[in-house]
Every structure is written in C-alpha cells, then in structure tokens.
Chain A
Amino acid sequence: MSHVVSPIRETLVGGGRSYHDVTQDICKQVEGEPTKEWKIAFSVSCVIFAYGAYCLGYTWWQGIGVWGLNKTVGWAWDITNFVWWVGIGHAGTLISAVLLLFRQKWRTSINRAAEAMTIFAVLCAASFILAHMGRPWLAHWALPLPNTFGSIWVNFNSPLVWDVFAISTYLSVSLVFWYLGLIPDLATIRDRAQTKASKFWYGLFSVGWTGSAKTWARYEYVSLILAGISTPLVLSVHTIVSMDFATSVIPGWHTTIFPPYFVAGAIFSGFAMVQTLLLITRVAFKLEDYITMEHIEMMNIIITVTGSIVGIAYLTEFFIAWYSGVEYESYCFINRAFGPYWWAYWMMMTCNVISPQLFWFKSIRTNILISFILSVVVNVGMWFERFVIIVSSLHRDYIPSSWAMFSPTMYDIGDYIFSFGLFFTLFFLFAKFLPVINMAEVKAVMKGVSSNYPYKKKSEGGKESVTH
C-alpha cells in the first residue's frame, strides 16, 4: 500500500510478523479451548454478576427506598455510577472515530477492544438509568410513544429527554460501528473454521463477506462516514449528560463550563479504562507484539492531556465561583473543598489532577506496572469527581434544617457491583469468542509500521518467481 510513513516512527507490530502470523495469533484465542485463567476469571465475574443481579433485582422489586437516599440528597450513587460508566464508554468511539479521522495508525490494534468496552460500559450505565427511574417497567414512558393519556408526549425541551435520545443513539451507532468492523475478521475465522458450530455461527454473522475490492471500497467509505458522524455524536453524548446538571439551578451544577469539562473527563476516564483492560489483555493473550510500548505511551500521553484539561476545569470552576460574586456558588465550592465531604474532593484532586502529571516523565509513562496502577487511580478519581459534583452540591440545601449527609446501603454498593459483574462477564465473553484485535486493520498498516516485515527481506534477498 502506498502509505508514507516517517522512518522515525516506532514500529506498531513487533516480532517480524507476516500477515499469516497475525491471523494465527489472533484467531488462536477464538479457536482454542478456553484457558484455565480465562475460566477462573469468567467464573469470578459470573459470581460477581449473580450477587449484583440479586441486589439489583431487590432494588427493582422493593423500589429505590432501599438506597441510602434522603429528602435532600435525591441523587447519589445511581447517577454517579451512570455518569462514570457513560464517561468510560467514550473512549472506544473516540479511538475508532476521532483517531481514524486523524489517521492515527496506532489505533488499529486497540480499537476493537476499546469499542467493545464502550458498548459494555454504556449497557452498565443504562442499568443505573433504569434502576433510578424507580419503576423500570415504565421506562418506555421516556420515549415519544402514542398512549392512552391523550396522547401526552415527552418534553423535548428537557435535557433528560435529550439524554434518552443521545444515549440510545450512541449505543446503537457504536454497536453498528463495532459490528461492521468485525465482519471481515469474522469471515477470516469462518474460512479457517474446523468445527460445525463455529462454521455455522461465524458464517451466520460474517454475512457472506468475501473481501472483494468493490466491497472494501464501499466499506472504507462507510467507515469514514461513520467516523465522521460518530465524532460529533460522542461529543454530544457527554455534553448532554452534563446538561442534565448544567440546566438546573443547583449551585455547583449551574455552570456553563460543564459540557467541555465533562467531555474531557469522559475521554480521560475512558482512556484510563482502555489502558487498564489492554494491559491485562496483552499479558493474558500474549499480545505484546501488537499492543506495544508505543501504544501504552500514546495512551498515557492522551491521559495526561485530558487530565490536565480536567484540572484546568476544576480550577476555573473555583475561580468563577468566587469571581461571579454569587454567595451560593462560593459557599458550594468552599464546602466542597473544606466541608464534610473534603476527603472526596481531595481524593478527586489527587487522583485526577496530580497523578496523571507523573506521565510527563518518560520512565514513568513507559513503565507498565505504574501505568496500570495510575490507570486504575484515574478511574477511582473520576468516580469521586461525579460523587463530589452530585452529592456535595446537594447535601447542603438552601435551608440549614434540610442539611444532610449520604451514606450508601448494601444495595447502593450491590448495584454498583452488578455493573462490574455485567461489564467483566461481557468483556470475557467478547475476549473468548471474538477477535480482540482488528486483524484486517492491523494487516493494512503493517507494511509501514511493522518491524522487520517479510516484504523487506524478500526484496533484499530477491525472489525468483517475481519479475517486474
């Protein structure tokens, strides 16, 4: 392919692999028996899922009175977890769409897993949306469906309705994008399949893909346009999530900085989660030649950039609270930092603002263990960010007699555990039954970026049958 690649670029596929090696390495996970490690990990996540399902089932059955909410703090872990998961769910589409538009080739070996993670994270987020409605069986009332009350319609002026449209569009478009990318790889597995079951299932889902030049040309256009529309889509989703807060009149929420601040935070936490999962996946599946130090470093750089944007947003919020001269705002922010929830605030500040700055040092951002720990730390921090925004803004009501604190019950915690169970169960199933790396895309960029690609050997050594 006529790719122009600068010679100073690091190689993205190591180990002198050929196209066939790529197929072999990636299909191995799908075709072989599940490993012992996979079975253990999958069983553990199923147990977590089952416990979480009990807690969530109990919440649905009894109502959200089982949570620790009170009259003053009417939103707590539910919306914190929702925003946290939706934020995490931003990285996949960002990697596959935005980095595609910017022609960043290093995205090719991480986009598949990142997109899968996106979809699962949005599903986790959806579980909190449903639960927090109190009567989840009436969830369809959020849609503009004809009904026997008039019809009385949803309010299209409300950010909560925008959110319904944004999240469901995002989930379905991400799913389409992900599936479209899977088709050529599913066809690869189909063509190698030995057992009847895999011939059937991979045959069914690979929709008769042959990889003809005409199909690929159309496929490239479809990917490009999907990337083009997904880019504003992914930005719109967290913008709208932030508007759930920003269009209210609660001090601490009612700020115009929320949309860009939330979007940066979402990318920040999403990349951190991708980093966490990829560092595990590359070791578990021995993909060190595909997910290289270059990838890890690139991810860490993006984490630092977005973390710094988030840090600036925190400081700007504080400044504006003072500069606006609004007493309620000033109080709210001083209370955040020095009130009863000070520990949550400083936890957030340490994890999100200080810790990613360590990646300025090359020795730290190329250290796998530290990268892993910091990627987890970032997501702890991002959870606390949402908790701080939601609970610390609510718990001091306008009337001091209404002031309250929030403490979670086992069902608050259990519903959060449910989302982890769901997420990891789905992720392990994905890692076993689908190719974790986009083979077609990796092959397409290999010549420019692979170390010691056989083509080079061939042209040096000369090959009798080839005459030009």
Chain B
Amino acid sequence: MNTTEKYLVGVYDDEDEVLHAVTEVKGKGVKIEEVYTPFPIHGLDTAIGHPRTRIPIAAFLFGLTGLTCAQFLINYTMVFDWPMIIGGKDFFALPDWIPVTFEGTVLFTAFGMVFTFFVSNSLWPGKTPKTFDLRSTDDKFIMTINMGTNKKSEAEIEEILKASGAIEVNVKQF
C-alpha cells in the first residue's frame, strides 16, 4: 500500500477567482478536498460542498447548561443549604439572581463553544499544521486536490486548474 498521499495544489491570487474556480473545477468532475485562504470568504464552504456547521447548536446547549448550573448553585446555597433572610426578601429571590444567572450562561456559552471549535477543527497548542503552501496565510488562495480520491489523470486536472485561473499548480506529497 502506498502510504504517502499525493496532492495537486492550485494557487490562486484573488478571492473572487478562487470562488468561481471552485464551482468550475467541481463542475468538471474534479473532487476538491479543501481550499485554504488567508481570510474568510463567504460562500466558499458551501461551494466546496462542506455541510453547514452545527456549532450554533453546541453554543445553545452550552448556554443552557450554564443557565442550569448557575440556577442550581444559587438555589442550593441560598434556599437549601443555608437560607438567610436578607433585606426581608424571600429565600427564593429570583429577580436578584438574574445578573449571576446571565453571566453564568454567557461564560459557559463562550468557553464551551470555543472549546468545541478547537476540538472539531482538531486544533491544539503546538500542533504542527499540514501546510500545502506557506503563502496561504499571507496572500494566496490554495485549492488542494487529493489524487487518491480522483479518477482523472494529473495532467488533466492540472489543465482544469490552470483554465480556472490558477497561477501555479504544484504537487505536494505527505
């Protein structure tokens, strides 16, 4: 078995060009693995065919968890464990607890969501990135095509990439 993966790497120098190129290259039956860009391009992920992210759902669930935890903590301490009369209020003084409940919700949402973001993209401190072209974090837009998942020949795909506006087509092996 061949353990190395072979990629064709198309280099573009404009975000509109790469966005059009994705549709064009896909239209010609080439499977695009990923596009690496120095900044977000709206609609690029859907053009490639990535499914919509479910991060907002995770964020909502984390928020719900935060709200529950905050309410649990306050109720446990103020109502059950050591109830005290403060300012003649009920033990269960819900309006007073809104600020802390809100902060708890926000805290859990933010941390939970960002943690999920790191995990789902498998990013962690010190990770060595799989870099196809160092310029993809500067000013170039990099389209990668995994030769293992494509039936067309290398020359054919290179032709398609060039026709779609790629300024360079390189071969990269991992």
Give the distance to chain B from A451, nearest Cβ to Cβ, in Å: 18
Asked whether, in the complex, the Cβ of B39 is within 8 Å of the Cβ of A225, the reply is no
Interface string of A146-179 (1 = CB under 8 A from B): 0000111111111101100110010011001100
**Cβ–Cβ < 8 Å partners of A165 in chain B:** 99-100, 103-104
> Which residue of the partner chain B has the closest CB to A217?
B45
| Known A-B contacts A156-B78, A222-B117; A233 and B106 likewise in contact (beta carbons under 8 Å) | yes
**Cβ–Cβ < 8 Å partners of A440 in chain B:** 38-40
Question: How far is A190 from B138 in the complex, measured between Cα atoms in Å?
Answer: 11
| Known A-B contacts A213-B44, A218-B120, A455-B14; A191 and B106 likewise in contact (beta carbons under 8 Å) | no
**Cβ–Cβ < 8 Å partners of A8 in chain B:** none
Q: Does A6 count as interface, using CB distance less than 8 angstroms? A: no
Within B27-81, which residues are at the interface with A (CB < 8 Å)? 34-45, 48, 50, 53, 55-56, 59, 63, 73-74, 77-78, 81
Q: Does A374 count as interface, using CB distance less than 8 angstroms? A: no
Give the contact stretch, choosing among A18-26, A78-86, A343-351.
A18-26
Interface string of B92-116 (1 = CB under 8 A from A): 0100110110111011011101100
**Cβ–Cβ < 8 Å partners of A368 in chain B:** none
Our pick among A152, A166, A216 for the contact of B45 (Cβ within 8 Å) is A216
Asked whether, in the complex, the Cβ of B40 is within 8 Å of the Cβ of A208, the reply is no
| Known A-B contacts A218-B55, A466-B165; A210 and B130 likewise in contact (beta carbons under 8 Å) | yes
Asked whether, in the complex, the Cβ of B38 is within 8 Å of the Cβ of A213, the reply is no
| Known A-B contacts A156-B97, A157-B86; A214 and B102 likewise in contact (beta carbons under 8 Å) | no
Asked whether, in the complex, the Cβ of A209 is within 8 Å of the Cβ of B107, the reply is no
Our pick among A1, A188, A204, A240 for the contact of B41 (Cβ within 8 Å) is A1
**Cβ–Cβ < 8 Å partners of B173 in chain A:** none
Q: Does B149 count as interface, using CB distance less than 8 angstroms? A: no
Asked whether, in the complex, the Cβ of A214 is within 8 Å of the Cβ of B121, the reply is yes
Q: Does A226 count as interface, using CB distance less than 8 angstroms? A: yes
Question: How far is A191 from B82 in the complex, measured between Cα atoms in Å?
Answer: 56
Which of A23, A184, A214, A441 neighbours the largest number of chain B CB atoms within 10 Å of its CB?
A: A214
* Chain B: number of interface residues, binned into ranges: 35 or more
Asked whether, in the complex, the Cβ of B136 is within 8 Å of the Cβ of A1, the reply is no
Q: Does A263 count as interface, using CB distance less than 8 angstroms? A: no
Question: How far is A348 from B145 in the complex, measured between Cα atoms in Å?
Answer: 64
Asked whether, in the complex, the Cβ of B43 is within 8 Å of the Cβ of A191, the reply is no
Asked whether, in the complex, the Cβ of A447 is within 8 Å of the Cβ of B137, the reply is no
Question: How far is A184 from B84 in the complex, measured between Cα atoms in Å?
Answer: 50
Within B126-170, which residues are at the interface with A (CB < 8 Å)? 126-131, 134-139, 162-163, 165, 167
**Cβ–Cβ < 8 Å partners of B43 in chain A:** 2
Asked whether, in the complex, the Cβ of A153 is within 8 Å of the Cβ of B137, the reply is no
| Known A-B contacts A187-B129, A210-B36; A467 and B163 likewise in contact (beta carbons under 8 Å) | yes
**Tally of contacts, chain A with chain B, CB under 8 A:** 220
Our pick among A208, A211, A225 for the contact of B136 (Cβ within 8 Å) is A211
Give the distance to chain B from A149, nearest Cβ to Cβ, in Å: 10
Within A196-246, which residues are at the interface with B (CB < 8 Å)? 203-222, 225-226, 229-230, 232-233, 236, 240, 243
| Known A-B contacts A180-B114, A191-B138; A209 and B128 likewise in contact (beta carbons under 8 Å) | no
Asked whether, in the complex, the Cβ of B103 is within 8 Å of the Cβ of A207, the reply is no
| Known A-B contacts A150-B82, A184-B39, A209-B129; A222 and B55 likewise in contact (beta carbons under 8 Å) | yes
Q: Which secondary structure dominates chain B's binding surface?
A: helix
Asked whether, in the complex, the Cβ of B38 is within 8 Å of the Cβ of A151, the reply is no
> Which residue of the partner chain A has the closest CB to B53?
A218
Question: How many residues does chain A have at the interface if contact means C-beta atoms less than 8 Å apart?
Answer: 75
**Cβ–Cβ < 8 Å partners of B117 in chain A:** 180, 218-219, 222
Asked whether, in the complex, the Cβ of A225 is within 8 Å of the Cβ of B109, the reply is yes
**Cβ–Cβ < 8 Å partners of B20 in chain A:** 468
| Known A-B contacts A173-B106, A207-B123, A229-B109; A444 and B56 likewise in contact (beta carbons under 8 Å) | no
Asked whether, in the complex, the Cβ of B167 is within 8 Å of the Cβ of A465, the reply is yes
Give the distance to chain B from A23, nearest Cβ to Cβ, in Å: 5
> Which residue of the partner chain A has the closest CB to B46?
A217
Asked whether, in the complex, the Cβ of A441 is within 8 Å of the Cβ of B39, the reply is yes
Asked whether, in the complex, the Cβ of A19 is within 8 Å of the Cβ of B38, the reply is yes
Asked whether, in the complex, the Cβ of B167 is within 8 Å of the Cβ of A173, the reply is no
**Cβ–Cβ < 8 Å partners of A221 in chain B:** 53, 55-56
Interface string of A28-59 (1 = CB under 8 A from B): 00000000000000000000000000000000
Question: How far is A213 from B162 in the complex, measured between Cα atoms in Å?
Answer: 21
Give the distance to chain B from A421, nearest Cβ to Cβ, in Å: 30
Our pick among A151, A213, A467 for the contact of B82 (Cβ within 8 Å) is A151
> Which residue of the partner chain B has the closest CB to A165?
B103
Asked whether, in the complex, the Cβ of A157 is within 8 Å of the Cβ of B96, the reply is yes
Q: Does A144 count as interface, using CB distance less than 8 angstroms? A: yes
> Which residue of the partner chain A has the closest CB to B95?
A157
Task: Taking A150-B82, A161-B100, A212-B35 as given, write out 11 further A-B residue pairs in contact, using a Cβ cutoff of 8 Å, ordered by the A residue number.
Answer: A155-B78, A156-B77, A162-B103, A165-B104, A172-B110, A172-B111, A192-B138, A207-B126, A208-B128, A212-B36, A455-B14
Contact sample, A vs B, 22 pairs, CB 8 Å cutoff: A2-B43, A144-B73, A153-B81, A156-B77, A158-B86, A162-B100, A166-B99, A176-B114, A190-B137, A191-B134, A192-B138, A206-B129, A207-B118, A208-B127, A209-B129, A210-B36, A225-B55, A230-B110, A236-B99, A440-B40, A465-B165, A467-B163
